[in-house]
């Protein structure tokens, strides 16, 4: 109690205590039915045991904006141990801040305990970035430490009310993204908020409030201190948000790409592959918005493809055989980028699968297409080829051929094959044991 009081009295940044607005359903129209059954059950159970519990964050914001939420997060005054005790299928996770995952049917609901303001106790690095803050607080403090006003809304599915400490509902109506507290201070605490601001604005079609927008450019270099893995997660979220094109356009406008986000440098600074990269981002947006799956592997395969093509070409020019040259080029590009971008091994393997299929899809001689179509990653490789054709890198006819081939039955497929030519074989035999290698085999 006393500590809390002192914190409030001595910290000029601590929010002045004020009554939140309690907005009834008649004003916000978010009905409890739009909350997932699992999240509703989680909130109800916590409430029945005497705790405060609300659906918070992105889900409330998205429902208010007429979007369907990705997932549902719950905030409560119960400690992680108390939450854990109430749900048989649950586990405590996280080190930076411990939260509880409650499993309900196929759903996982993230339950976090109200956090205190970070005014004093938090441990920071020399730039003011918060490293650890594990102090529980009350609901008002929890609201104050969230990033944007529209993300600090608490929905009670039982009463169907929204508790709003920072005029988030009004901001969302006015299409404004506003930071809670002093923008510079909040960006310093966590520079990832610079990226979140741009992502949220692009996703919801909001204008960033001038006070929050002004410091973005000058504070951009703070991103250098953020661990690569965290940046990668945030960039991935951005790329698969369904609004990647708009997000990247805005990042560029805010000066948030050059030299700070290796991934964006890769995307934006390739004169050769620019058209291909933007096409693939637009394609990813369309897929996400149509409710289809996208894989990070596919996305990164597109982003780095033209680098691979350039490296491959350089090696072939130096006399390397096509197939080994492709593998060496892939490794070269991945070695360079995987570390910078924090691409995991598993994603790197997916990327390679897609790349390796490309020359195989270009070689339609003999019975090869029959084997390629059986490859486990064929569909991804084919989707990738469609993008290459659309960008003009390969003939449209090639992609059309594969589209027909996929739809054809066995008999029709056989009729589509190009017979293997005798002379090609002869030449191949002659070159054996040296020379320039054998392209036909190379593509196998
Ligand atoms: P989405 O899940 O649609 O990307 P979200 O707002 O739910 O958006 P999450 O990363 O899931 O984003 O975070 C959930 C909530 O946690 C946010 O709405 C916000 O209130 C709070 N939050 C997340 N990241 C930060 C941050 N860096 N600083 C302060 N609050 C944050
Ligand atoms: Mg979320």
Give all domains of the chain, ordered by start, each with its CATH number.
1-226 (3.30.460.10), 228-419 (1.10.3090.10)
Q: What are phi and psi of 193, to 5 degrees?
A: -60, -25
Assess whether pLDDT exceeds 70 at residue 190: yes
Buried b (16+ CB within 10 A) or exposed e, 52-82: bbbbbbbbbbbbbbeeebeebbbbbbbbbeb
- Smallest CA separation from ligand 1 atom 9, residue: 58
Ligand 1 atom closest to Cα of 193?
27
162 alpha carbon – ligand 1 mean position (Å): 17
Q: How confident is the model at residue 407 (pLDDT cuts 50, 70, 90)?
A: very high
- Smallest CA separation from ligand 1 atom 15, residue: 57
Assess whether pLDDT exceeds 60 at residue 426: no
Pocket of ligand 1 (CB under 6 A): 57-58, 70, 73, 146-147, 151-152, 190, 192-193, 196, 237
Nearest by Cα to 35 from 77, 69, 76: 69
173 alpha carbon – ligand 2 mean position (Å): 20
Buried b (16+ CB within 10 A) or exposed e, 355-388: bbbbbbbebbebebbeebbebebbebbbebbbbb
State how far the Cα of 110 lies from the Cα of 92, in Å rounded to an integer.
Answer: 10
Q: What is the pLDDT of residues 43-89, one digit of tens each?
A: 999 999 999 999 999 999 999 999 989 899 999 999 999 999 999 99
| Catalytic residue list contains 77 | no
**Helix, strand and coil in the chain, % to nearest 5:** 55, 10, 30
CA angle, 22 as apex, 20 and 27 as ends, to 5°? Answer: 135
Ligand 1 atom closest to Cα of 152?
20
State how far the Cα of 144 lies from the Cα of 262, in Å rounded to an integer.
Answer: 32
Return the ligand number nearest the Cα of 62.
Answer: 1
State how far the Cα of 194 lies from the Cα of 116, in Å rounded to an integer.
Answer: 22
Q: How confident is the model at residue 441 (pLDDT cuts 50, 70, 90)?
A: very low
284 alpha carbon – ligand 1 mean position (Å): 22
Assess whether pLDDT exceeds 90 at residue 102: yes
Mean pLDDT of 107-128: 80
- Smallest CA separation from ligand 1 atom 2, residue: 58
- Smallest CA separation from ligand 1 atom 25, residue: 147
Of residues 429 and 263, the one with the higher pLDDT is 263
| Catalytic residue list contains 71 | yes
- Smallest CA separation from ligand 1 atom 21, residue: 146
Strand locations in 73-144 (E): 73-76, 90-93, 99-104, 107-113, 123-124, 130-132
Ligand 1 atom closest to Cα of 58?
7
115 alpha carbon – ligand 2 mean position (Å): 17
Please measure the distance between the N-terminal and C-terminal CA atoms of the chain and give it in whole angstroms.
71
Average model confidence (pLDDT) across the chain: 86
Out of 142, 146, 188, 204, mutate this one to test ligand 1's pocket (max ligand atoms within 8 Å of CB): namely 146
Ligand 1 atom closest to Cα of 241?
4
Mean pLDDT of 11-20: 57
Structural tokens at position 176: 């404004």
What is the model's pLDDT at position 122?
Answer: 63
- Smallest CA separation from ligand 1 atom 11, residue: 58
Q: Which of 184-188, 227-231, 318-322, 398-402 is the least confident region? A: 227-231
Edge to edge, the sheet with strand 161-164 lists: 21-23, 161-164, 153-156, 53-56, 73-76, 107-113, 99-104, 90-93
232 alpha carbon – ligand 2 mean position (Å): 17
Helix (H) or strand (E) holding 264: helix 262-268
Structural tokens at position 126: 């020399």
Q: Find the catalytic residue in 62, 104, 147, 285.
A: 147
Please state the pTM of the whole predicted model. 0.80
58 alpha carbon – ligand 1 mean position (Å): 6
| Catalytic residue list contains 125 | no
Assess whether pLDDT exceeds 90 at residue 117: no
State how far the Cα of 109 lies from the Cα of 107, in Å rounded to an integer.
Answer: 6
State how far the Cα of 164 lies from the Cα of 153, in Å rounded to an integer.
Answer: 5
- Smallest CA separation from ligand 1 atom 27, residue: 193
**How far are the Cα atoms of 51, 146, 158 from residue 22, in angstroms, in the given order?**
18, 18, 14
Structural tokens at position 199: 């992502």
- Smallest CA separation from ligand 1 atom 1, residue: 58
Ligand 1 atom closest to Cα of 196?
27
Q: How confident is the model at residue 13 (pLDDT cuts 50, 70, 90)?
A: very low
Residues in Cβ contact with 340 at an 8 Å cutoff, skipping those fewer than 6 apart: 228, 262
Return the ligand number nearest the Cα of 99.
Answer: 1
Instruction: For residue 179, list its beta bridge partners.
Output: 148
Q: Find the catalytic residue in 62, 73, 77, 209.
A: 73
What is the model's pLDDT at position 262?
Answer: 66
177 alpha carbon – ligand 1 mean position (Å): 13
Give the Cβ contact number of residue 89 at 10 Å.
10
Ligand 1 atom closest to Cα of 189?
28
56 alpha carbon – ligand 1 mean position (Å): 9
State how far the Cα of 62 lies from the Cα of 130, in Å rounded to an integer.
Answer: 27
Alpha helices in 391-438 (DSSP H): 396-407, 410-416, 422-431
What is the model's pLDDT at position 442?
Answer: 41
Return the ligand number nearest the Cα of 203.
Answer: 1
Structural tokens at position 40: 């509703």
């Amino acid at each position: 109690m006393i500590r809390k009081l002192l914190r409030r009295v001595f910290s000029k940044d601590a929010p002045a205590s004020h009554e939140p607005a309690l907005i009834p359903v008649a004003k916000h129209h978010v009905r409890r039915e739009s909350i997932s059954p699992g999240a509703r059950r989680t909130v109800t159970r916590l409430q029945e045991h005497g705790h405060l519990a609300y659906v918070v964050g992105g889900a409330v914001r998205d429902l208010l904006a007429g979007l369907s939420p990705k997932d549902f997060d719950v905030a409560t005054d119960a400690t992680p141990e108390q939450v854990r005790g109430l749900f048989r299928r649950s586990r405590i996770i996280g080190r930076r801040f411990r939260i509880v995952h409650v499993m309900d049917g196929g759903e996982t609901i993230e339950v976090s305990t109200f956090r205190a303001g970070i005014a004093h106790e938090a441990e920071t690095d020399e730039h003011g970035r918060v490293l650890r803050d594990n102090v529980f607080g009350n609901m008002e403090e929890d609201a104050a430490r969230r990033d944007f006003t529209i993300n600090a809304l608490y929905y009670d599915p039982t009463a169907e009310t929204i508790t709003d400490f920072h005029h988030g509902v009004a901001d969302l109506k006015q299409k404004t993204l506003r930071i809670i507290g002093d923008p510079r201070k909040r960006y310093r605490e966590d520079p990832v908020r610079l990226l979140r601001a741009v992502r949220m604005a692009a996703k919801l079609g909001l204008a960033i409030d001038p006070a929050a927008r002004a410091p973005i450019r000058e504070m951009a270099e703070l991103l250098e201190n953020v661990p690569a893995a965290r940046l990668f997660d945030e960039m991935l979220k951005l790329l698969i948000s369904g609004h990647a094109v708009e997000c990247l356009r805005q990042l560029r406008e805010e000066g948030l790409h050059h030299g700070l986000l290796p991934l964006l440098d890769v995307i934006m600074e390739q004169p050769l592959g620019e058209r291909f990269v933007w096409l693939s981002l637009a394609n990813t947006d369309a897929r996400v918005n149509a409710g289809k799956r996208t894989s990070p592997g596919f996305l990164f395969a597109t982003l780095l493809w033209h680098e691979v093509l350039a490296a491959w070409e350089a090696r072939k020019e130096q006399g390397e055989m096509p197939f080994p040259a492709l593998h060496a080029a892939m490794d070269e590009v991945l070695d360079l980028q995987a570390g910078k971008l924090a691409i995991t091994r598993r994603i790197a393997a997916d990327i390679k699968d897609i790349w390796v299929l490309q020359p195989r899809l270009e070689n339609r001689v003999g019975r090869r297409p029959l084997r390629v179509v059986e490859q486990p990653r064929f569909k991804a490789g084919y989707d990738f080829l469609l993008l290459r054709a659309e960008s003009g890198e390969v003939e449209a006819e090639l992609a059309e051929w594969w589209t027909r081939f996929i739809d054809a039955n066995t008999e029709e497929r056989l009729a589509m094959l190009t017979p293997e030519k005798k002379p090609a074989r002869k030449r191949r035999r002659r070159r054996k044991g040296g020379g320039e290698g054998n392209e036909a085999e190379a593509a196998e």
